[in-house]
Amino acid sequence: MREIVWYRVTDGGTIKQKIFTFDAMFSTNYSHMENYRKREDLVYQSTVRLPEVRISDNGPYECHVGIYDRATREKVVLASGNIFLNVMSPPISISVIAADTPAPFSRYQAQNFTLVCIVSGGKPAPMVYFKRDGELIEVVPLLESPSSAAGLQDSRATRNLLNRDLDDTKMQKSLSLLDVEDRGGRPYTEDPLKSLTPDPGLLFSPATEIIPETVVSREFPRWVHNMEPVYYYHHTHIPLSDGTVEVRAMLMWTLNPQIDNEALFSCEVKHPALSMPMQAEVTLVAPKGPKIMMTPTRARVGDTVRILVHGFQNEVFPEPLFTWTRVGSRLLDGSAEHDGKELVLERVPAELNGSMYRCTAQNPLGSTDTHTRLIVFENPNIPRGTEDSNGKLGSYIAFHHKLQLISQLLLGW
């Protein structure tokens, strides 16, 4: 025997990287790889050992053996063999998300709903399946992508509900709103200069009034059926650069808020490198009890007020859609509504004192309204009557700055 050489074959066989050599003439062996003592070893002169196999070790290997010819030791006869090392890797992450969110609640039209289970890091690709309340879901496989499946996106186009003030399916109406309507008044101040809230130093009453929540009724029209839904299933495999696969499994069905609200859906994964299945789960829940925070807590004329939804009484899934409106009027910027968790009112004028704002939080499972009232206090730096009807304070502030400058000049003299 002359030598034994191990090669790793890459790029479809075009490149052969020498990794180990055993020299029979000197009875020595050595590695051509880095970190030899940690990664590899030669045992019994011809066996390659990879102690901590990695995904990058996956692929074909060749062993080349050279022996001397019996007739002359100057001639070496070569022989070779090959083997393919198939390295498995368990998934490293699993998550469940809702597609096409945030999305509105549709009380008068059926809408489709899609859960997506994302499993990354597996090799080979894992098997993914869904369960509802612990029971395996029987699915109808889809051969085409759900984006091209007819009808799956039609109901997403409907954005606005019917007029919220005329909606007869609400269980509870704000007591404060009823009180205002019984008196025949308006929910915002008619004359801001006469009714602007004074700001004495000993006044500790809250600057905002939290109005009881209005929950949309669970009474649904005839399109809602109590029969078992048909679940459709589609999955895609996305090869990653490290040799693993990302699997995206989609579960689609026609949502029934009556029976799907508070339903537990789980995505489970089986893989030959796992001793037990991986699992991720979500509970479909309609929003309830939005918690509203207003800063500053004592707003004065000219302040920038931020009204923010910073949580719910329950864990909400999927992510809700937030819409802000002003009861009985338009928002400060003239728009009818504002989308997002936060409503910003810049440089509030006195006429907003007592104005009421509605936040509608909704997802495909349900909708809820919460109201808050803005109390605007006097600003001692801005005397009454100095702002115009639109609440623009720029001209007065400029005039005030000029007076300050003149006073400083006179004092300097």
* pLDDT tens-digit map of 35-56: 544 444 444 467 777 878 888 8
pLDDT at residue 286 is higher than 70 = yes
Shared-domain flag, residues 266 and 303: no
Same domain, 280 and 309: no
Query: Taking Cα atoms as reference points, which of 269, 299, 294, 255 lies closest to residue 100?
Result: 255
Q: Which range scores top for mean pLDDT: 181-190, 202-211, 226-235, 294-303?
A: 294-303
For residue 350, give its domain range: 291-377
In a domain? residue 14: yes
Give mean pLDDT, residues 3-28. Answer: 83
Q: Does residue 151 come out as left (phi exceeding 0), alpha (psi in the -120 to 50 range) or beta?
A: left
In a domain, 203, yes or no: no
**CA nearest neighbour of 122 among 241, 245, 237:** 245
Residue 355 and residue 238 in one domain? no
Q: d(Cα 44, Cα 62) in Å, to the nearest integer? A: 17
Q: Is 223 domain-assigned? A: no
End of a domain among 85, 111, 132? Answer: 85
If asked whether residues 273 and 305 sit together in one domain, one would say: no
Q: Is 351 domain-assigned?
A: yes
Q: 99 with 63, same domain?
A: no
**Hey, which of 62-71, 157-166, 233-242 has the most confident mean pLDDT?**
233-242
Query: Cβ of 271: how many Cβ atoms within 10 Å?
Result: 21
User: Of 262, 284, 306, at which residue does a domain stop?
Assistant: 284
- Residues 279 and 351 reside in one and the same domain: no
Percent of the chain with pLDDT over 90: 47
Lowest mean pLDDT among 160-174, 247-261, 279-293: 160-174
Number of domains present in the structure of the chain: 3
Question: Same structural domain for residues 273 and 295?
Answer: no
Q: Looking at the domain assignment, is residue 296 inside a domain?
A: yes
Sorting pLDDT into bands at 50, 70 and 90, what band is 284? very high
Residue 390, domain member (yes or no): no
- What's the CATH number where 254 sits? 2.60.40.10
pLDDT of residue 285: 96
Last residue of one domain, picked from the residues 258, 284, 310: 284
Residues 268 and 373 in one domain: no
Q: What is the largest CA-CA distance in the chain?
A: 120
Q: Is residue 175 very low, low, confident or very high in pLDDT (cuts 50, 70, 90)?
A: very low
Sequence-distant (≥ 6) Cβ neighbours of residue 255 within 8 angstroms: 110, 111, 112, 113, 364, 365
Q: What is the pLDDT of residues 217-261, one digit of tens each?
A: 445 555 555 567 899 999 999 999 988 999 999 999 999 998 999
Average pLDDT of the residues in 261-277: 95
Q: Which of 70-74, 142-146, 308-312, 341-345 is predicted with the least confidence, judged by mean pLDDT? A: 70-74
Q: Say yes or no: 247 and 112 in one domain.
A: yes
The C-alpha atoms of residue 175 and residue 145 are separated, in whole angstroms, by 49
C-beta separation of 331 from 250 below 8 A: no
Q: Do 243 and 368 reside in the same domain of the chain? A: no
> Would 122 be classed as within a structural domain?
yes
Provide the residue type at 408 as one letter. Answer: Q
Indicate if 250 and 351 belong to the same structural domain. no
Residue scoring higher pLDDT (403 or 28): 28
Report the alpha-carbon distance of residue 121 to residue 240 in Å, rounded: 8
Same domain, yes or no: 78 and 107: no
pTM of this structure: 0.68
Is residue 148 one of the residues assigned to a domain?
no
